[in-house]
């Protein structure tokens, strides 16, 4: 069967199956299991209402459990076993093996750099863009152009930026903007992506370019939510625009800034496509997610691959706990 046709069939089966499941399971408990009639009518209605939420939730919980919760434990188990030894339990051998690899430490070091630079720069640029565009008439148009890279895939963005970093031999016209500018100021053509450690920052630039729009949209909504009277009071007290921005507005949107920061942090921890497409971890640009992909699908070393995946999980955990804590606080 042609894949596109299979896709249409899957949509029909998937959606139809869902509707069918929800409709008939409701029908079943209402009419057959606990019919709302006869001598036990009120008991039946109560019981039906106790079961119904789980009917509604079941497909989602099943999929979540199978596709997200179970793999966390399965990966942890894989990280403690050795595939070559037939899946024998080896304790923390994979972890200690990983710790001896210089590539792993390179990935950790680069990831830390990414974690500091990308969220900071994206949030800063986003804040700047939000504050500036809110004050002009064509702000919404400007916003949608800055926001646009959000729609572009990491791989597509990598191609776009690789053109910017492109290098031609000396004597030829440079077709990469960066080298063209560099030459204009009297430099010699550089192969930018091979220069450590600066190549890391050139890769980060791609993600900053993508994530700034996200930060801008959210921070701009937060800035609009700052109560007008606090700003007016500051103006009456003689505050200048910079003081208003840094001392009045920023403190009031601090909560949102933290949310933006943590959201981008999670994106950074999972970043893989950009490094794969631009350098594939060569020239000391390896990051954890690409290291893991290398181990899993090029070296087929599932033990160490899973161990590095667990490291990513470990790094995400504080944010996970923080988010859950906040969500629970908000629900109360």
78 is an interface residue for other proteins by CB under 8 A: yes
Instruction: Decide: residue 326, CB within 10 A, 0-12 exposed, 13-18 middle, 19+ buried.
Output: middle
Pick the closer one to other proteins by CB: 203 or 278: 278
Cβ atoms of residues 306 and 78 within 8 Å: yes
* Exposure of 87 in the CB half-sphere (CA atoms within 13 A): 5
Could you say whether residue 287 binds other proteins (CB under 8 A)? no
Binding of residue 107 to other proteins (CB under 8 A)? no
Residue 98 or 222: the one with the smaller Cβ distance to other proteins is 222
Are 278 and 158 in contact, with CB atoms under 8 Å apart?
yes
Footprint of other proteins on residues 23-42 (CB under 8 A)? 23, 26, 30
Per-position x/- string for 161-200, each x denoting binding to other proteins as judged by CB under 8 A, each - no binding: xxxx-x-x---xxxxxx--x--------------------
Pairwise CA distance, residues 297 & 95, whole Å: 18
- Determine how many CB atoms are found less than 10 A away from the CB of residue 301: 20
Q: Are 272 and 294 in contact (CB under 8 A)?
A: no
Q: CA 115, 121, 124, 130 torsion: positive or negative?
A: negative
| Binding residues with other proteins: total (CB under 8 A) | 122
Smallest separation (angstroms) from other proteins to the CB of 158: 7
How far is 189 from 178, CA to CA, in rounded Å?
Answer: 9
Among residues 106, 147, 182, 283, which is the contact residue for other proteins, using CB under 8 A?
A: 147
Q: Does 54 bind other proteins (CB under 8 A)?
A: yes
The interface with other proteins within residues 123-142 (CB under 8 A) comprises: 125, 128-129, 132-133, 135-136, 139, 142
Q: Which of 108, 118, 214, 287 binds other proteins (CB under 8 A)?
A: 214
Binding to other proteins (CB under 8 A) within 261-280 occurs at: 262-263, 266, 269-270, 272-273, 276-278
């Amino acid at each position: 069967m042609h894949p596109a046709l299979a896709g249409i069939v899957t949509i029909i089966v998937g959606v139809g199956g869902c509707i069918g499941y929800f409709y008939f399971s409701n029908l079943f408990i209402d009419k057959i299991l606990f019919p709302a009639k006869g001598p036990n009518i009120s008991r039946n209605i109560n019981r039906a209402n106790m079961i119904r939420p789980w009917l509604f939730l079941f497909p989602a919980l099943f999929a979540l459990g199978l596709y997200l919760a179970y793999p966390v434990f399965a990966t942890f188990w894989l990280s403690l076993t050795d595939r070559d030894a037939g899946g024998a339990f080896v304790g923390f051998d994979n972890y200690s093996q990983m710790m001896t690899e210089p590539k792993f430490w390179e990935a950790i070091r680069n990831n830390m750099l990414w974690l500091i630079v990308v969220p900071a720069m994206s949030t800063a640029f986003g804040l700047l863009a939000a504050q500036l565009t809110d004050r002009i008439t064509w702000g919404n148009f400007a916003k949608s152009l800055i926001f646009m890279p959000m729609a572009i895939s990491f791989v597509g963005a990598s191609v776009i930026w690789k053109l910017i970093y492109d290098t031609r031999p000396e004597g030829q016209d440079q077709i990469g903007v960066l080298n063209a500018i560099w030459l204009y100021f009297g430099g010699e053509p550089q192969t930018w992506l091979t220069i450590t450690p600066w190549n890391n920052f050139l890769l980060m630039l791609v993600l900053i370019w993508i994530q700034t729009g996200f930060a801008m949209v959210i921070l701009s909504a937060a800035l609009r939510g700052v109560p007008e009277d606090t700003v007016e009071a500051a103006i009456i007290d003689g505050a200048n625009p910079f003081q208003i921005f840094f001392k009045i507005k920023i403190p009031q949107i601090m909560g949102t800034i933290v949310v933006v920061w943590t959201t981008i942090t999670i994106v950074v921890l999972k970043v893989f496509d950009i490094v794969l497409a631009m350098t594939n971890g060569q020239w000391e640009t390896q990051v954890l997610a690409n290291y893991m992909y290398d181990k899993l699908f090029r070296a087929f070393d599932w033990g160490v691959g899973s161990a590095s995946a667990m490291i990513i999980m470990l790094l995400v955990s504080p944010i996970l706990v923080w988010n859950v804590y906040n969500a629970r606080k908000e629900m109360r």
